[in-house]
Amino acid sequence: MTTDMVIVQTADFDAAALTAGLRERSAGQAGAMVTFTGYVRDYTTNDATRTLFLEHYPGMCERELQVLCDTALQRWPIAECLVVHRVGELHHKEQIVFVAVASTHRGDAFQACEYLIDALKTRAPFWKRETLASGERFWVQQSDADAGKTADWELNSTSEK
């Protein structure tokens, strides 16, 4: 599903093309652009990650990501933002998520981008099942650190402006 600010897809994405598109849409309003690209990493210490299967709740997932983008637009003076997230079976080292923010000033772009990546990890309905080289499979649990970062953003929701 695609909106102006949110794309959830199985296909890989071209980060350079997404960045160029966001730059064009910001129509010269942006003096700064911050991007983040996340990759499938090896979550374990003993056995290499072979694949990560991402499930999502279609419709609800996109709506929640849109709420996060709308929140970023309200909290910081940013011109544009974009979140692209892949679902389905992904292999070790493949791209999984892209977040970009365009703003007049770099500080606002950095904060909004960091907020988006932190909040989507805990608020968007994605479920990750990891398969190791040994064949073992398990669901990846949300980390306390990620939950803490999102809670901090929510506690400090009025201090950015």
pLDDT at 160: 47
Amino acid of residue 94: E
Strands (E) located in 20-94? 32-39, 49-56, 78-86, 88-91
> What stretch of H or E contains 2?
none
Q: pTM of the prediction?
A: 0.88
HSE-up (13 A, CA, CB side) for residue 40? 26
Q: Per residue in 116-152, pLDDT tens? A: 999 999 999 999 998 888 888 989 888 888 778 888 8
pLDDT range class, residue 44, cuts 50, 70, 90 = low
Domain boundaries, the chain: 6-153
Is residue 153 a contact partner of residue 76, using CB atoms and an 8 Å limit? no
Does the domain made of 6-153 have the CATH classification 3.90.1170.40?
yes
